[in-house]
Structure 1
Amino acid sequence: MCEEQTVSLVDVLEEDEELEEEASAVLGGSDSDHCSYPQGYVKRQALYACNTCTPKGGEAAGICLACSYKCHEGHELFELYTKRNFRCDCGNKKFPDLQCKLQHDKEDVNSLNKYSHNFFGVYCTCRRPYPDPDDQEEDEMIQCVVCEDWLHAKHLGCAVPDCAELQEMICESCMNQHSFLWTYAAHLAVPAETDAAAAAAPVKEESAAEGSNVKAPKKEEQADDVTEPSCKRSRDEAEPSCRLKELQSAGQKRVQSGAVFWPSVWRSKLCCCSSCQEQLSEAGLSFLLDESDTVLAYENKGKNNEQGQQGHDPLMSALDNLNRVQQLEIIHGYNDMKTELKDFLQRFAAEGKVVTSEDIREFFEQHSRKRRRVDGPAFYCS
């Protein structure tokens, strides 16, 4: 009896679906065909910087997803992931030798855009590229939600708690620049611990209604105040008391060093009184009161868009009507195509070119012609 090891086609498809979902999360629903410039300063979008057109030493500039495909094909691009409230620069005066192919009537500059060393392909306080060819030690990078720089975990000045991907991080520099955040950190943030597992524990306290063994604030009334955001109280009530001042008077302290990690619900617990809103506005931090501003919300938007476009999958339905021999034949065909596609894409990567929809269409047309051959006898194991 033949004991050939096989892989379920469903498993293969599910793996591909996970990769597609991750890609959709990174793009966040960005349009790959139309320049985002007419949308103004987009809340969040996939952004790139072109080292070919704006090299280090020149003016920093960012381009949208569509322009990275249509206007900068074959250029050296830096993937910036996402930046807050950014308008596409492609073709403005920062690109003297390039005109945007998708949107011609652009202003000379986008004065409200904010730039950093990330636009020249360097990150973190060490200002090194990613991946760093001179550093063989693998290290994850985490984005600060305030300055939006990416920092190496080893340069955060603290241990990274478990499930950090579900939390937000503010780097030490931004915490010190906006020192009132340390008061919130003492009550709302993940405690600064050297043991990552211990640091993650207080996050669970947020969802525990009762019976938790995790240390709670000394005064229950203070915990209740922290849980309910004042900006969501009844409009009929008078101006709420300032929660920030209440936290300051509580006297709870925290070591003011290292980056700070925050649980996913922390923004809803910031004080929304008029004085605090003004303070946040003056500091350029009004976005902290907007829970839809988070990268997690951005990624979920991309995933939801992808799922909405997919709808009912006819291929998965068709599999139910196939026998094992037919499924094996499809798996072999799929693996052949996957290998060819990988080789095809590696050529573009080696030449530093962007893969366009026309390139993909040409690949599948060639693959279809190659598949037109005489089928041999069916092979199966009994």
Structure 2
Amino acid sequence: MCEEQTVSLVDVLEEDEELEEEASAVLGGSDSDSCSYPQGYVKRQALYACNTCTPQGGEAAGVCLACSYKCHEGHDLYELYTKRNFRCDCGNRKFSGLQCKLYHEKDAVNSQNKYNHNFFGVYCTCRRPYPDPDDQVEDEMIQCVVCEDWLHGRHLGRVVPDCVELQEMICESCMNKNPFLWTYAAHLAGPEVLVEERRDESCANVPKKAEVDDVIEPSCKRSREEVEPSCRLKVLQASQQKRDQSGAVFWPSAWRSKLCSCITCQAQLSAAGLSFLLDELDTVLAYENKGKSSEQVHQGHDPLMSALDNLNRVQQLEIIHGYNDMKTELKDFLQTFAAEGKVVTSEDIRHFFEQQSRKRRRVDAGPFYCS
């Protein structure tokens, strides 16, 4: 007889909380009920690719969150996390025989959408699936800000900083396609740590705002009568500060605000398809914060609270008190396991609710008086 598999309650609670936060962040910023197609090319949204409808060998296509639920239920889907400036493809020419159930009037193709090999379930320069059943190496995957591909940390050509969750990354390929970014990297990006070096750098070594400004602003401080340089990028280029132009680049928080937005640089960014770099609301962090805020607002409209509106004041108070009491008791019950590092089983949970049920029956029976 196999023993029931158990895990530490601490692990369960922490993992559950992390999963809820991640789901709120990624999915909370997208509509799960209505197709996003009428919104046009959405600034950022959660996307999926359907291997059932558009397998490898066909045309790449992506569908919005709502269509993944309503039109592709039971299909083999690839979760793409988020992509920018994308319009839902569900039911267009790329989906032979499938009609979108949520929105019917769609163009044959969305010409401004951008696709990569992620839409066929492979990622990184190694073009492997995720999760990869043949890869025994534990490694995190990080999304490039520019191409939005997901790359293994060990394939970035740089040691991944400890605080990578607070930074944005641009892969080496995208850096080389836009050489002017190397100039910014020499002044704005984190410390250079090649893969063959020992990983002894920390987030504390990331250049701080004042250090970067010191490079940019001296020419403006020489004399108040001098004309302020119109192009920040030219000032950086004139400083002759160099950086090894290899490997991915990790950028600290708010680095986008340091980019030059003069007319010439705006045109350069536009020509390279990088205008979004001047928009700090384009970041995944901004999208996730929006999702968390939306989830909090949604939670404010609890169905239980809506049902209570139909009850009188006394009934409302009785139900609310009963609900809060049970929640508090369950929390206290579980915390005893967590505090002692014990495991909790389904039998423990059943026992708790049986006790609650007996307690409820005693309360409902009313007070007992001795004669």
| Normalised-by-shorter TM-score class | 0.7 to 0.9
Q: 1:308 to 1:204 in 2, by over 3 A?
A: farther
SS at match of 2:151: strand
Matching residue within 187, 198, 201 for 2:201: 198
Q: Would you say the 8 A contact 1:28–1:300 is kept in 2?
A: no
Provide the residue aligned with 1:52 in structure 2: 52
For the pair 1:293 / 2:277, whether they are aligned, the reply is no
Provide the residue aligned with 1:307 in structure 2: 296
Give how far 1:137 is off: 1.1
Give how far 1:239 is off: 8.2
Provide the residue aligned with 1:120 in structure 2: 120
SS at match of 1:322: helix
Of structures 1 and 2, the larger Rg is shown by 2
Could you tell me which amino acid in structure 1 is paired with residue 205 of structure 2? P
Structure 2: distance between partners of 1:102 and 1:128: 33
Worse-superposed segment, 25-34 or 66-75 = 25-34
Structure 1: distance between partners of 2:356 and 2:239: 80
Q: 1:49 to 1:202 in 2, by over 3 A?
A: same
Q: Would you say the 8 A contact 1:28–1:45 is kept in 2?
A: no
Could you tell me which amino acid in structure 2 is paired with residue 59 of structure 1? E
Could you tell me which amino acid in structure 1 is paired with residue 27 of structure 2? L
Structure 1: distance between partners of 2:22 and 2:272: 33
Provide the residue aligned with 1:83 in structure 2: 83
Mapping 1:89-128, distance limit 5 Å: 89-128=89-128
Please give the per-residue CA displacement for 1:138-177, whole angstroms capped at 9, x wherever unaligned. 1100000000000000000010011101100000000000
Q: 1:261 to 1:328 in 2, by over 3 A?
A: closer
Provide the residue aligned with 1:170 in structure 2: 170
SS at match of 2:329: helix
SS at match of 1:198: coil
Provide the residue aligned with 2:250 in structure 1: 261
SS at match of 1:169: strand
Provide the residue aligned with 1:283 in structure 2: 272
SS at match of 1:44: strand
For the pair 1:156 / 2:149, whether they are aligned, the reply is no
Mapping 1:202-217, distance limit 5 Å: 202-203=205-206, 205-206=208-209, 216=211
Q: Could you state the TM-score of these two structures normalised by the residue count of structure 2? A: 0.76
> What is the RMSD of the two structures over their aligned residues, measured on CA atoms?
3.7
Structure 2 residue runs without a partner (length 5+):
1-7, 221-225, 306-319, 335-344, 348-352, 361-371
Give how far 1:7 is off: 7.5
Structure 2: distance between partners of 1:289 and 1:298: 15
Matching residue within 301, 305, 329 for 1:327: 329
Could you tell me which amino acid in structure 1 is paired with residue 133 of structure 2? P
Could you tell me which amino acid in structure 2 is paired with residue 151 of structure 1? L
Could you tell me which amino acid in structure 2 is paired with residue 327 of structure 1? E
Give how far 1:181 is off: 0.3
Q: 1:247 to 1:12 in 2, by over 3 A?
A: same
Q: Would you say the 8 A contact 2:188–2:207 is kept in 1?
A: no
Structure 1: distance between partners of 2:155 and 2:58: 28
Please give the per-residue CA displacement for 1:235-282, whole angstroms capped at 9, x wherever unaligned. xx9885211111111011000000000001100000111111110000
Percent of pairs with identical residues: 71
Q: Would you say the 8 A contact 2:229–2:235 is kept in 1?
A: no
Structure 1: distance between partners of 2:219 and 2:58: 47
Structure 1: distance between partners of 2:331 and 2:198: 51
Worse-superposed segment, 144-153 or 190-199 = 190-199
Give how far 1:17 is off: 5.1
Mapping 1:345-356, distance limit 5 Å: none
Could you tell me which amino acid in structure 1 is paired with residue 184 of structure 2? Y
Give how far 1:375 is off: 4.5
Q: 1:28 to 1:259 in 2, by over 3 A?
A: farther
SS at match of 1:304: helix
Q: Would you say the 8 A contact 1:166–1:264 is kept in 2?
A: yes
Structure 1: distance between partners of 2:29 and 2:292: 8
Please give the per-residue CA displacement for 1:271-314, whole angstroms capped at 9, x wherever unaligned. 11111111000000000000000011011110111112223989
Mapping 1:242-257, distance limit 5 Å: 242-257=231-246
